Every structure is written in C-alpha cells, then in structure tokens.
Chain A
C-alpha cells in the first residue's frame, strides 16, 4: 500500500494538471465569446494595429510547432539514434502546438463562424490561402509519420514519411514568413530575409519547448537524461539561438543601411518606447545573452540551467514577435514620403496599442490546447523517449 501512494499522488496531480489546462482553455473560449458577441472593440486592436497579442501567440505556436520537428528530422533524415528515440515526442508536440496556434488564429477572426468559407474559397495569389492548405497538410503528414514510427508494421515507411515532414515544415515556415515578406508597403516587412529567418528561429524555439517538455517527462518518471544526449541537445540549441540572432542582426543592418528605413529602425531600436525595451532587454538579454551564458559558460549547462535557458529563449521569442508584429504596425505607413502628415485616421502618428486581458486569455487558451493534447497524448500513448543502448550510440 505504501508503495502505491506516490503513484496515487501522481495520478491525482495528473488530473489536477488536466483540469488546470482545461480551465485555461475555457478562459480562452470565454475571450472568444466576448469578441464574437461585442466585436473586436473589447480588444486593444484597432484600425492601425490590426493584428495584436493573439497573433503573437499564434505565430509563436505555429513556428515552434514546425521547429520542434527538427528533433525528428535529425533522427529520421540524418540518422542520429539519440534523436530518433525522441522523434515521436517531437511529432506529438508539433501537432499540439499547431492545433493551439491555429485555434487562436481562427478564433480571432472577425467572423470565425465563416471557417467553412475559408476552407472552400481559395484565392491562389494569397499566401494565407496557401497556409490553410499547408497547415492542414502538416497535421496529416505528422500524423502519418507518427503512425509509421509507432506501428511496427509501418516502420519501413518511417524514413520516407520523415522526409515528407522535413520538406513540408520547411515550406510551412516559409509560408509563415511570407505572410510578412509579401507586404510591400510596410517598412518592417517586405523583406526576403523573413522566411529563412522564421525557419532558423523556429529551430531555436522548437528545441526550447522540447527541452522543457522532455525535462518534465523525465522528472515525472524519475528518470535522468543521459549526460551525452543532454550535452548534444543543449549545444544544438545554443547553435540555433546564435543562428537566429545572426538573421535578426542582418535584417536590422540592411534596414539601417537604407536612408528611407532609418527612421523606422530608430523607432524600433531606440525611440519607440516599449518596442526598443522589448527588443534589447526581452530579445537581446533574456532571449540571447542569458541563455547562451547558461548553455556555454564553463560550470553551467546542467539540466536545470538548460531548462531556464529554454524558458528564457521562449520569452525572448515572444518579445521579438511583439516587436516585429506590433512594432511593425505601430510605425506609420510612409504614404507621402518627404511630408509631415496629419489626419483624423492616425496618418503620420505612432499607432497606440494597449492589449486587453481578453487577448491574453485567447492566446493562453491556445497554449492550453497545446498543453492538453501533449499531456493526454503522453498519458495514453508511448511518447516517452526510450534511451538507446551505449553500443548504438558509440557507432554514431
């Protein structure tokens, strides 16, 4: 009997966590209901800042959903056994975050009831319409991939399925980056650098989410992560963070070089109030400097440090997205270059945005959906990574 009590405790804890996740989802649904009932007037979004906090959450979840699959790709496409053991968990996380992100995106629509219209009317010149296909195709591709990994008879198909997923997520994240890259008139966007930047960023965010979930699972099962695997994954995350930073720096450097972009860069990097703070402190220090120190500084780099680094990378990611998505809209459109502009519609003015609590509830609802799918998935199916034998590992 005594032996059973920790088990019972965990059982209760599991249901408590599910209930907490459910509550977060419920609050998200409440936010959706309010927006549906009263219109977007109950949010902080307006005619200048048309995309707000829900989009920051949705984009983070969708980008991370694509990036987390890196773990699977390294396993099945590049044949690294340490990652192969983790591929199913990565697949589950991908589906979970994609579902959460898409839910937020759809429930923020002015007319979420017209989802069938979006599914049946495609304007082929719209990258949004491509994404409807890319996102739904991603679910199918990852589901098939999971099946080939978890069903013994399908094992031979695991590699081709992994290849399809590998290619698909590259195209998917490109599509997400193109949403902004295709915007010709806004100074923050309209750059071909954005799709590759989103891809690299997705690697870092995806791995950060993976680290947190993996650590939680190991803690839950009283397992310790193999030192060798921990070190490899930790270093890989560091490399991804540096690569993402490289793209962000290149993006701002090119902007700084063009005189017509100088004012915009000045706004984002120095004079724009909340935006430079989020960029330098949020993304620069919390999202890059501290995680890299935690990963690479001699004496640091333990599992606990890596978890902290992962949390910081995620926070930095949110800060970067806030600056890109909302800062990019707050800076006024250059409709009359060379003129000082003034109007009743905010021309020439910095757009004001004060997100309402409902927007956060909706965004967190998406995170709640991702949490519930992950928690239930791990509970009912075999997603816990099975460590590989030392012999196999040495052959890597």
Chain B
C-alpha cells in the first residue's frame, strides 16, 4: 500500500472518529431534551388524598422537601414564593384543631386557567395545572382568581435554579405536583417526604389505584367544594 493511501485511510479514520465525538453528545442531549415522545393522556388524573388526622402539628417536612426539590428559597416574607404551606385550623365553635398542607388544588375547572389572558395557565390532560413560563406576562389575574391562594409571583431576580424546574422573575408560579418527577414515574416530593405517609398520591381515574380505593372507603372532602371546581387534592378528616 502506498504511503499516500495509508495517510488517506488514517485521515478518513480520524475524521470519522472526530465527527462521532462531536455529534454523539449532541445526539444524546437531543434525545434527553426531547424526553418522552408519548403525550400525557386524560385516561390518567393525578390527585392526592391528604389525611389530616395523621398530619402532625408543627411538622413541615413536606414544605422543606418541596422547597428543596423546586429550588425555592424557603423565605416566608409576603413577597417570597410558597408553593406549599402548612395551615393550622381551629373550629370557631367546637375548638377542634387540625393541621394540613395547602397547595394548588389542581382543579378540574381551574379559575386561574379561565382568567389567564394568554393561555399561560393551563391544565394538562392528566389534570396537573401548570404555568407556561414562556407565555406568562405577569398580570397576576390568576392570583386574583385562585380561591386557594395557591399562587406566588416572583418578585425578585432568581439565582441557582433547579434545571428541572424553570422559574422566572416577573412570572407567576405554583405547585406543579412535581410534574418532572411524576413524568418519570416518581411521586411528588411532598408525598415522598411525609413521615406519616399522610399524602397519598395516585391516579384518580384508575378504580384499582390505592387512592381511588381509599376515597371509596373513607369520607373525604374538597376544600371549598361549594365552588364546584372538582379539585384533584382531597382531604380526609377536615
């Protein structure tokens, strides 16, 4: 084999190698970024059943887990975002006390989605209510409309965001039901973190799921059921 041919072969080999090294990570990243190709389906409706009897007074493990998972500061000033909060309740007449976590109730008929001018607030086919951060203009009308005070407005520039949970100054945000975890077959961070297993997460549309079975057997209520919003979060013992 002539010297020229050897050189040509070596050149071709290294070219192919270099091309592979350059393209492969891109392909890999493209595949990762593309995520799942199948769309979410309305056959599933994600929901939670929260057992207030088990929810310990003073415990806020769910709040801490949420803040960590979603990169929230955990600040408690009126301008800080709180996607989930512990609410202490006392019956005005009987004096009965209880404690429960409160967050976006992921309504079937969400008022925030109705009022959003750009369609930024939307409900996924599987019932999770989200904000499209690219469409939100920061008008805060959804915050006016939400009966549960579930939404926060980002009042300051953000630092150290979690890659899976994009946020943005000047936009509105709320509990995503940890959609990035749910889509990977995991549970929302709050449900996983609860030491008493008070937050039962599952598919409300599947009659054989744990959550559906429990809702059939114990009394549970929606908060402000009178508004007819059919929330995805239900409470036991309220």
Interface residues of A (CB under 8 A from B): 38-41, 46-48, 50-51, 109-112, 114-115, 117-118, 121-123, 125-129, 132, 179, 182-186, 329, 333, 335-336, 338-347, 351-352
Cβ-defined contact, B85 with A185, below 8 A: no
The CB with the most chain B CB atoms within 10 A, among A47, A343, A351, is that of A47
| 12 CB < 8 A contacts A-B | A38-B157, A41-B79, A51-B144, A111-B136, A114-B135, A118-B137, A121-B120, A123-B113, A128-B141, A335-B148, A345-B85, A346-B78
CA distance A347 to B182 in the complex (A): 29
B30-44 CB contact bits vs A (8 Å, 1 = yes)?
Answer: 000000000000000
User: What's the minimum C-beta distance from A322 to chain B, rounded to whole angstroms?
Assistant: 16
CA distance A121 to B132 in the complex (A): 12
Q: Which residue of A lies closest to B81 (CB)?
A: A47
User: What's the minimum C-beta distance from B16 to chain A, rounded to whole angstroms?
Assistant: 45
User: What's the minimum C-beta distance from B6 to chain A, rounded to whole angstroms?
Assistant: 59
Set of chain B residues within 8 Å of A183, measured between Cβ atoms: 111, 115, 144-145
Which of B87-95, B192-200, B202-210 is found at the contact surface with chain A? Answer: B87-95
Set of chain A residues within 8 Å of B141, measured between Cβ atoms: 126, 128, 179
Q: Is B72 an interface residue (CB 8 A)?
A: no
Q: Is B71 an interface residue (CB 8 A)?
A: no
Set of chain B residues within 8 Å of A351, measured between Cβ atoms: 78
Interface residues on B, range: 35 or more
Q: Which residue of B lies closest to A334 (CB)?
A: B224
Q: Is B213 an interface residue (CB 8 A)?
A: no
CA distance A182 to B145 in the complex (A): 8
Cβ-defined contact, A50 with B147, below 8 A: no
| Interface SS, A side | loop
Q: Which residue of A lies closest to B86 (CB)?
A: A343
CA distance A122 to B119 in the complex (A): 7
Q: Which of B102, B118, B147 contacts A117 (CB 8 A)?
A: B118
Set of chain A residues within 8 Å of B88, measured between Cβ atoms: 341-343
The CB with the most chain B CB atoms within 10 A, among A112, A342, A352, is that of A342
Q: Is B116 an interface residue (CB 8 A)?
A: yes
Cβ-defined contact, A341 with B89, below 8 A: yes
Task: Identify the 6 closest CB pairs spanning chains A and B, nearest first.
Answer: A110-B138, A110-B170, A185-B147, A128-B117, A46-B78, A123-B119
Cβ-defined contact, A40 with B89, below 8 A: no
CA distance A101 to B40 in the complex (A): 42
CA distance A336 to B153 in the complex (A): 23
Q: Which of B86, B92, B102, B153 contacts A110 (CB 8 A)?
A: B153
CA distance A164 to B136 in the complex (A): 33
Set of chain A residues within 8 Å of B147, measured between Cβ atoms: 184-185, 333, 335
Cβ-defined contact, A132 with B117, below 8 A: yes
Q: Which residue of A lies closest to B169 (CB)?
A: A39
Q: Which residue of A lies closest to B148 (CB)?
A: A335
Q: Which residue of A lies closest to B140 (CB)?
A: A50
CA distance A110 to B169 in the complex (A): 7
CA distance A115 to B91 in the complex (A): 46
CA distance A250 to B61 in the complex (A): 48
Cβ-defined contact, A39 with B118, below 8 A: no
Set of chain A residues within 8 Å of B116, measured between Cβ atoms: 123, 126, 128
Q: Which of A47, A179, A338 contacts B152 (CB 8 A)?
A: A47
Set of chain A residues within 8 Å of B153, measured between Cβ atoms: 40, 47, 50, 110
B127-145 CB contact bits vs A (8 Å, 1 = yes)?
Answer: 0000000111111110111
Contact A340 to B92, CB < 8 A, known contacts A123-B119, A127-B115, A184-B227: yes
Cβ-defined contact, B79 with A40, below 8 A: yes
Set of chain B residues within 8 Å of A186, measured between Cβ atoms: 144
Cβ-defined contact, A341 with B171, below 8 A: no
The CB with the most chain B CB atoms within 10 A, among A48, A109, A343, is that of A343
Cβ-defined contact, A344 with B86, below 8 A: yes
Cβ-defined contact, A110 with B140, below 8 A: yes
A-contacting residues, B66-107, CB 8 Å: 76-82, 85-93, 102
Q: Is B164 an interface residue (CB 8 A)?
A: no
Cβ-defined contact, A38 with B78, below 8 A: no
User: What's the minimum C-beta distance from A220 to chain B, rounded to whole angstroms?
Assistant: 39
CA distance A114 to B139 in the complex (A): 11
Set of chain B residues within 8 Å of A39, measured between Cβ atoms: 154-157, 169-170
CA distance A41 to B73 in the complex (A): 15
Set of chain B residues within 8 Å of A110, measured between Cβ atoms: 136-140, 153-154, 169-172
Cβ-defined contact, A182 with B172, below 8 A: no
Cβ-defined contact, A341 with B155, below 8 A: no
Q: Which of B87, B143, B146, B154 contacts A343 (CB 8 A)?
A: B87
Known: A51-B140, A117-B135, A182-B114. 18 other contacts (CB 8 A): A38-B156, A40-B79, A41-B79, A50-B143, A110-B137, A110-B140, A110-B171, A121-B135, A122-B119, A123-B117, A126-B141, A335-B149, A336-B223, A340-B90, A342-B87, A344-B86, A345-B85, A352-B78
